Structure 1
Amino acid sequence: MKAGNIHYNCENDLPKQIALFPLEGALLLPGGFLSLNIFEPEALEMVENVMVSNRLLGIIQPLSSAPDCCSTQLYKTGCIGRITNYSETGNGQLFIILQGVCRFTLEQELVHTKPYRTALIRSNIKDLQEHDIAADINRENLLNIVEQYLTINEMEYNWNSIIQAPTPLLVNAFSALIPFTPAEKQALLEAPDIGSRAQTLLALTEYSLMKQTGAEYH
């Protein structure tokens, strides 16, 4: 897996301890991207610290909505992201873009010594390898369902760019683009592989369309 200028090939390339960024409704997938505006003091300090180390953050969802992100319980699965773009906005805030490296399992949170959360993690090394299973995905059905969703919801899109994109990229991009619930996004993250994620994406999108239109989609 390449993120920015760095190749991540094995377990030794990844940290066993990482800064956690709990974000409800955020979905970062291996190879995918997530743009964030950083403005809270603890998040600003966290980003500044990782920028001078390995540029890696652990994006993870809280189990429930809570005003205090420093104490709420977290899901066990998150995604390591590398900061590939960093800019100061001029008003004391930051804008960053993360590229997903691999998923991780949260093993143990550490005692707070900083204003943000840190934990020991176990990385999903399988995510670092390129798996050619796109042939198992029904691309035509995927494109058909997604086109219907984009059209019904009046979302702008460049269809020529979409049909030229590799299937795994489409699956991850649409998983992040469509406004699923936090629990649904977690299901997409935890899908074992890109083929399973495509099936989950199709099922969730079809269900959303059925609720919107009352029609069944196959």
Structure 2
Amino acid sequence: MKQHPDLPDIIPIFPLPGALLLPRSRLPLHIFEPRYLAMLDDALKTDTRLIGMVQPNAIPGRDGGHGLHRIGCAGRVTQFSETEDGRYMITLGGESRFRVLEEIPGGFSPYRRCKVSWDGFERDRGGAERDTGFDRRRFLDLLDRYFAARDLSADWQTLKEADDELLVNSLSMLLDFNPDEKQALLEAPSLATRRETLVTLIEYALRGGSQEDLMQ
């Protein structure tokens, strides 16, 4: 197995349905549950300040039966502020995806921890990806129809000027997809396949299809 000396073998896990973090992206989070406040306090004491975002898996027995999808994305705490009543507003910067190997027994920890593997996701640690087959005009036309159908507004100038990865990843994280659809976007092996998955999800939503039919 390849070694990743700058990435720990065991990380804290934050299983949050519908919350998608991708490499080189930023995810704001509101932390208020006592167990996750403890998780944040412990993460801030480490050199890496990593927290693993994983979609819960509601299907019994699937993915090893531990109630988590196998693939998640670790984020580094890059910003945090405390409110007067003890809550935290934090930002995670996406570092790398990982594969869950096993869950570590609770012990004295009130939050979940997992042993993970970073193998196969080395590209996540590099520079921004390019999508050479990206037809931006066609994509933005599709997005315009999607936003209009849901009565959403957008800063179209910013969308037009954003680079490929920022545009695709930001929309993947922000659009209102269900957890299984978010997981499909996370697991896409490249920016091009994530963009293709995103287009499929948008087109299917415009046709009024149910997410259950799409994900089968």
Q: Same fold (TM over 0.5)?
A: yes
Tell me if structure 2 keeps the 8 A contact 1:64–1:72.
no
TM-score relative to the length of structure 1? 0.86
Q: Quick check: 1:62–1:72 contact (8 Å CA) kept in 2?
A: no
Q: Please, which of 79, 83, 92 is the counterpart of residue 73 of structure 2?
A: 79
Distance in structure 1 (CA, Å) of the matches to 2:172 and 2:129: 19
* Corresponding position of 2:150: 153
Partner of 1:5: none
Structure 2 spans left out of the alignment, 5+ residues: 210-216
- 1:120-139 alignment, distance < 5 Å: 120-123=115-118, 124-130=121-127, 132-139=129-136
Partners in 2 of 1:40 and 1:65 — Cα distance?
25
1:117 paired to 2:98: no
Matches within 5 A, 1:48-63: 48-53=41-46, 54-63=48-57
1:106 to 97, 100, 107: 100
CA offsets 1:158-179 (integer angstroms, 9 cap, x no match): 1111100001110001111110
Confirm whether residue 196 of structure 1 aligns to residue 190 of structure 2.
no
Give the number of equivalent residue pairs. 199
- The answer for the alignment partner of 1:7 in structure 2 is none
Cα offset, 1:210, TM superposition: 1.4
Question: Quick one: which of 191, 208, 213 aligns to 1:211?
Answer: 208
Matched, 1:175 2:168: no
The alignment yields a C-alpha RMSD, in angstroms, of 1.9
Flag the 1:175–1:132 CA change in 2: closer, same or farther, 3 A: closer
Over 3 Å counting, the alpha-carbon distance change for 1:72 and 1:105 in structure 2 is closer
Q: Secondary structure at the match of 1:78?
A: strand
CA-CA distance at 1:65 after TM superposition:
8.6
> Is residue 186 from structure 1 mapped to residue 180 from structure 2 by the alignment?
no
Summarize the alignment of residues 25-36 of structure 1 with structure 2, pairs less than 5 Å apart.
25-36=18-29
> Matched residue of 2:207: which SS?
helix
Distance in 2 (CA, whole Å) between partners of 1:199 and 1:43 is 34
Counterpart code for 2:111: Y
Partners of 1:24 and 1:65 within 8 A in 2: no
Q: Percent identity?
A: 38
Higher alpha-carbon deviation: 108-117 or 127-136: 127-136
Report Cα offsets for 1:97-153 as digits up to 9, x if no partner.
111111100011111120011111111222112365321222222211112212221
Contact 2:23–2:124 (Cα < 8 Å) also in 1: yes
Q: Distance in 2 between matches of 1:109 and 1:210?
A: 40
Superposition TM-score, scaled by structure 2 size: 0.86
For the pair 1:91 / 2:62, whether they are aligned, the reply is: no
Q: Tell me the SS of whatever aligns to 2:148.
A: helix
- In structure 2, the residue matched to 1:165 is 162
Structure 1 residues 96 and 112: alpha-carbon distance in aligned structure 2, compared to 1, 3 A threshold: same
